[in-house]
Amino acid sequence: VKGISRRHLLGAAGVAAASLAPNALALPRSQVRAWDVFTDVLVIGSGAAGLSASIEARASGVSVLLTEFLPVMGGASTISGGVIYAGGGTSLQRALRIEDSVEAMYNYLVAAGGHHQQLDKIQRYCEDSPAHFEWLMDQGITYRDRLSELRVLPDWRESLYYSASELDWPHRDAASPVPRGHVPAAEGSNGGRELVNALLSSAKAAGVELRSGVKASQLVTEDDGTVVGAVLDSIGQRISVRARRGVVLACGGFVQNRTMLELHAPELARCSVPFSGAGDNGDGIAMGMAVGGVGLRMQQGAIAMSLREPEEVVSGLVVNANGTRFIAEDAHQGALGHAISRQPDGKAWLITDQRSSYTVDQDERPLVAQANSVGNIAEQLGFPRGSLQNTVAYYNRNAANGIDPQFHKAVDMLRPLQGPPYSAWDLSSGNAITRVYTLGGLHTTVDGQVINGLGDNIPGLYAAGRTSAGLPVAPYVVEGLSLGDCTYFGRRAGRAAAGV
């Protein structure tokens, strides 16, 4: 790599000043007077996707420059739990005598993936999952041979758990439940940091050139649409980078960009907590679209709302502004968060009786009504007359017989709601703590090539991680699939960009 030196940062002049329209996200090659920096592959963004892409591109023997616009590398991946959804018989599963197969994993992911358009991505991911897990360990990520009985992120002493909805209806009927959430053995739930540190060390050792504090702002294209480089901004200077083989966009999603969020995903925009690093402002997606890339599933997000702790609370009822139930209260946090966001105005409440009530003050979901009768709760919340009473009466009748014909709540959580005081806890997307990040992004092939509106690949352009529309879909019930997708398809994009 002919890297970015101090001279380039201070004196870059390769981009014609007249061409620098402030909002332009793409620049014709003809307007680049001279390139400031040359590399084979340019990777933009240093999260799990960008690091995996750069390691693999470099392993192909080509020069790689990775740029990150924040001062610190790692993005949202660093603050994550580091859980990776892997299976099909990984070495950790085998060590714990967990039986799994590629077919079982595929069947589950297809069932949980709703209407995923790209079954070839799911297929490759499952087939290569055991080998991909070995690759992660080869980068220096460590795991412990211990299985957690819990269905929430275990502490660092246990490295395998049911992170997804395998045990929930209807998925438990679609495929045999198998634990596939692989958690790095990092003290204090710092799995993401362990993951990123390992990938960073690997990238450095392999000879990837890493530059932080440098923001990519424009892709450079030839007349025929081929992406041949990018323009970077650093401390007010503009640097033109010629990428001889390809550019990989790995800039994360767009949950920090209010304008994009309100435009593409209004249901996500009203969720209270954007859950990501500060860099997820849609740059990669916007740059890709500016050269013809299409967005896929742009309205979808991972929205988390869990009622599983303490367990007793789940025997309450979740209702919308019509006073009706719409989901099993013990649903996976991704299913519950998603379902709430789709109710009228994103509003929902948890109704508890004395037994199912929280016993301590709730910061995450405010207590908004308390009364000695269900009718009085309904009145305080402004529900249509009689609706909540009907909902509770129907639910109670069935719960007394151990069934939930509408939503199949687990039998051990079913019991009639009775015994004042009754309480209502606000679960609305905008009022309760509702964590969200985006899942939509650039449409890509299985090798990360960005696809345009006509279905053709854009030469020279690749995307991975949350800049692309990968395996994760809404409702996001497969925890660990985002980082699994970032690392696996990041690697594929890096290899394809290197083109060797």
Ligand X SMILES: Cc1cc2nc3c(=O)[nH]c(=O)nc-3n(C[C@H](O)[C@H](O)[C@H](O)COP(=O)(O)OP(=O)(O)OC[C@H]3O[C@@H](n4cnc5c(N)ncnc54)[C@H](O)[C@@H]3O)c2cc1C
Least distance in angstroms from the C-beta of 356 to ligand X:
28
How many residues touch ligand X (CB under 6 A)? 40
Asked whether 418 and 353 are in contact (CB, 8 A), the reply is: yes
Which CB sits closer to ligand X, 237 or 389? 237
As a whole number of angstroms, the distance between CA 116 and CA 333 comes to: 20
Which CB sits closer to ligand X, 88 or 288? 288
The residues, ordered by sequence, that sit 6+ positions from 435 with a Cβ below 8 Å of its Cβ are 271, 273, 275, 303, 304, 337
What is the C-alpha R_g of the chain? Answer: 24
DSSP letter assigned to residue 224: T
Please choose, out of 199-207, 322-330, 443-451, 482-490, the segment that lies near ligand X by the rule CB under 6 A. Answer: 482-490
* Structure token digits, residue 71: 């001062």
Question: Is 482 one of the binding residues for ligand X (CB under 6 A)?
Answer: yes
Question: Is 45 one of the binding residues for ligand X (CB under 6 A)?
Answer: yes
DSSP letter assigned to residue 341: H
Residue of 12, 44, 208, 471 that binds ligand X (CB under 6 A): 44
Question: Is 283 one of the binding residues for ligand X (CB under 6 A)?
Answer: yes
Other C-beta atoms lying within 10 Å of the C-beta of residue 134: 12
- If phi > 0 it is left, if psi is from -120 to 50 it is alpha, else beta; for residue 123 that is alpha
Which CB sits closer to ligand X, 153 or 458? 153
Please choose, out of 203-211, 246-254, 347-355, 370-378, the segment that lies near ligand X by the rule CB under 6 A. Answer: 246-254
Q: Which of residues 453-472 bind ligand X (CB under 6 A)?
A: 465-466
Q: Which of residues 212-231 bind ligand X (CB under 6 A)?
A: 215-216
Question: Is 293 one of the binding residues for ligand X (CB under 6 A)?
Answer: no
Question: Is 68 one of the binding residues for ligand X (CB under 6 A)?
Answer: yes
* Structure token digits, residue 190: 């710092």
Encoded one letter per residue, x for contact with ligand X by CB under 6 A and - for no contact, window 436-455 reads: -x------------------
The residues, ordered by sequence, that sit 6+ positions from 145 with a Cβ below 8 Å of its Cβ are 92, 95, 96, 159
Please choose, out of 41-49, 203-211, 359-367, 492-500, the segment that lies near ligand X by the rule CB under 6 A. Answer: 41-49
Torsion of CA 334, 338, 341, 344, to 10 degrees: -140
Which CB sits closer to ligand X, 248 or 413? 248
Encoded one letter per residue, x for contact with ligand X by CB under 6 A and - for no contact, window 252-281 reads: x----------------------xxx-xx-
Question: Is 434 one of the binding residues for ligand X (CB under 6 A)?
Answer: no
Torsion of CA 124, 130, 135, 138, to 10 degrees: 180
Residue 203: phi and psi, rounded to 5, are: -60, -45
Question: Is 489 one of the binding residues for ligand X (CB under 6 A)?
Answer: no
Please choose, out of 249-257, 374-382, 395-403, 415-423, the segment that lies near ligand X by the rule CB under 6 A. Answer: 249-257
Peptide bond into 420 cis (omega under 30): no
Residue 303: phi and psi, rounded to 5, are: -120, 120
Residue of 14, 82, 89, 337 that binds ligand X (CB under 6 A): 82
Least distance in angstroms from the C-beta of 383 to ligand X:
34
3-state helix, strand, coil in the chain (%, to 5): 35, 20, 45
Residue of 175, 251, 271, 305 that binds ligand X (CB under 6 A): 251
The residues, ordered by sequence, that sit 6+ positions from 414 with a Cβ below 8 Å of its Cβ are 315, 398, 399, 402, 403, 404
Q: Which residue ranges make up the site for ligand X (CB under 6 A)?
A: 44-50, 67-70, 75-77, 79-83, 215-216, 250-252, 275-277, 279-280, 283-284, 437, 465-466, 479-483, 486
